[in-house]
Amino acid sequence: MAPHAIVILTGAGISAESGLATFRDPDGIWARHRIEDVATPEAWRRDPAKVTGFYNARRRQLLDPAVAPNPAHHALVRLEQAWPGDFLLVTQNVDNLHDRAGSHRLIHMHGELARVRCTSCGAEAPWLADVEPASACPACGATGSLRPAVVWFGEMPLEMERIARALTECDVFIAIGTSGAVYPAAGFVGEARAAGAHTMEVNLEPSDVRSRFHEARHGPAATLVPALVEELLAAR
């Protein structure tokens, strides 16, 4: 029998213990900002300075020495390296903690905070500094045209065909630290189940979509994920 294929989906909960706020918890980002003010193409057209300021503040957190990959990010690198079958990590997170931990078979379906895209020429570039009004596109030199390379509400998530293929072919699907409130990611468990995969939720508490999964583990990701990875590797 071929080794099992595994798809992992992560959300903001996996980075919570690294010091980054989630979105929908009581102290989350969407309790302090309105989505329609900072995370839509309309918001960007209406008030680019406000949107840029919101993402500058979040990007600055990535440079905070206290913000670093936690044991859950590291455990997923170990799984990627030791798992004998196909492996794909899909993250909704725009932070760079999976990358910094060393994940490679990784899709940032909602884009990346540490990159910008030029609305003038379309080029993307790595970017860890603040975006200022005078910031010039490294490719075409235009100023005032750099937007964060993240997927806003109303925009299409990235690499959806590759993700759909992996879901169709997977035997195990695990969602970690995500509330299941945002589509299309919230629909992945259904796609994986329809394809015959065993599905598991790993979250601080039962999410609103807990019943869609065969199995669930509840508690902090930095504790549960390393234990789960060892279990998966022992049973392979």
Whose Cβ is closer to ligand APR: residue 25's or residue 171's? 25
How would you classify the pairing of strands 87-91 and 106-108? parallel
User: Rounded distance, CA 18 to CA 212, Å?
Assistant: 28
Q: How far is CA 169 from CA 11, 35, 105, 159, 173, in A?
A: 22, 34, 16, 16, 10
Q: How far is the CB of 179 from ligand APR (least distance, A)?
A: 3
- The interface region with ligand APR, picked from 48-56, 60-68, 99-107, 173-181 by CB under 6 A, is 173-181
CA angle 107, 110, 112 (to 5 degrees): 80
- Residue of 4, 98, 108, 110 with catalytic role: 110
**Helix or strand or coil: residue 119?**
coil
Nearest to 114 by CA among 78, 87, 146: 146
Element spanning 224, H or E = helix 221-235
Whose Cβ is closer to ligand APR: residue 113's or residue 146's? 113
Whose Cβ is closer to ligand APR: residue 12's or residue 67's? 12
- Given 123, 158, 182, 195, the residue binding ligand APR (CB under 6 A): 182
Mask: binding to ligand APR, 92-111, rule CB under 6 A, as x and -? x-----------------x-
- Given 6, 8, 9, 12, the residue binding ligand APR (CB under 6 A): 12
Query: b/e per residue, 122-137, with b = 16+ CB within 10 A?
Result: eebeebeeebeeebeb
**Helix or strand or coil: residue 125?**
strand
User: Rounded distance, CA 94 to CA 77, Å?
Assistant: 18
- The interface region with ligand APR, picked from 44-52, 115-123, 165-173, 202-210 by CB under 6 A, is 202-210
- The interface region with ligand APR, picked from 18-26, 60-68, 79-87, 162-170 by CB under 6 A, is 18-26
Active site annotation includes 110: yes
Q: Is 69 in the site for ligand APR (CB under 6 A)?
A: no
Query: Cβ-closest residue to ligand APR?
Result: 13
Please identify every residue annotated as catalytic: 110
**Where do contacts with ligand APR occur on this chain (CB under 6 A)?**
11-13, 16-17, 22-25, 28, 92, 110, 177-179, 181-182, 203-205, 207, 220-221
